Amino acid sequence: MKREKLLVSISVISVVIILFAILIGLFSAILSNNLSKKEIFSLVEKNEELLRSVLVEITESQPEIKYISTTQKTRIYNPDYVNLEGLYIIRDNGIYERITNDVLQKAMNIKGLCSISVRNDIVEFSCGGRGFGSASSYYGFSYTVNENTMSSRGFIPEGNGWLLREENGDNWYYTERIVDGFYYYEENY
């Protein structure tokens, strides 16, 4: 009799845990404002001219920019700059600065675009992420002037794009060409 009660208790606990995991997954998907892969492709295709103008602004007019966003989309956690409002940049030297720039503002008004990061020869347009800690995924698109960069960085062909997998872990990065120079990305940690 005690054994049967124990088995019933274990079964009930197992069902509760499974339901809880399903609910967490559903809430994560519902609360996430991420664009789908198809929506990111469409965003780039519809806004290609504006996005190329952003690249000109970053490379020619503001070459020392490392990060671009707006306080409406990305909260500033640095206590020295919490009162900053609107469109802002972070320069290479770590200084935050509110700026007025019609091209960058128009780009940051694109629904689904959260921020823009500049790293060497790659400009990354973040469209958000979801998950918690080591079970996180991030989505967006990037621009690179060097389309041969995939094979030179260890990516292997996968589907319509390229995949880079961490050698002794579960992290991976997938990228796929959208239009000339622009690539969809999904990274999982």
- Give residue-wise pLDDT tens across range 86-110: 999 999 899 999 999 999 999 999 9
Percent of the chain with pLDDT over 70: 80
Retrieve residue 144's tokens: 């690179």
29 dihedral zone (left: phi>0; alpha: psi -120 to 50; beta):
alpha
What pLDDT is attached to residue 40? 97
Q: Which helix (H) or strand (E) holds 7?
A: helix 2-31
Which stretches does DSSP call E strand in the chain?
A: 65-70, 87-91, 96-98, 115-119, 122-132, 135-144, 156-158, 161-165, 172-179, 182-188
Between 41 and 18, the more confident residue is 41
23 and 40 share one domain: no
As a whole number of angstroms, the distance between CA 19 and CA 185 comes to 31
What pLDDT is attached to residue 82? 85
What pLDDT is attached to residue 170? 87
Q: What's the structural domain count of the chain?
A: 2
Whether the model clears a pTM of 0.85, i.e. scores above it, the answer is no
44 and 97 share one domain: yes
Across the range 37-48, mean pLDDT stands at: 97
10 and 87 share one domain: no
27 and 99 share one domain: no
Instruction: Using the predicted structure, report yes or no on whether residue 29 has a pLDDT greater than 60.
Output: no
Mind listing the pLDDT tens digit for each residue in 120-163? 788 999 999 988 777 899 999 999 877 666 666 788 899 999 99
78 and 11 share one domain: no
22 and 40 share one domain: no
Task: Grade residue 182 by pLDDT with cuts at 50, 70 and 90.
Answer: very high
27 and 38 share one domain: no
19 and 91 share one domain: no
Domain containing residue 11: 1-31
Torsion of CA 117, 86, 33, 189, to 10 degrees: 30
Give yes or no for a contact between 176 and 158, defined as CB atoms under 8 angstroms apart.
no
5 and 50 share one domain: no
10 and 63 share one domain: no
77 and 153 share one domain: yes
98 and 113 share one domain: yes
Helix 37-46 with 48-56: angle, nearest 10 deg: 70
Question: Which residues contact residue 78 at a Cβ distance below 8 angstroms, ignoring those fewer than 6 apart?
Answer: 96
What pLDDT is attached to residue 114? 95
What pLDDT is attached to residue 9? 67
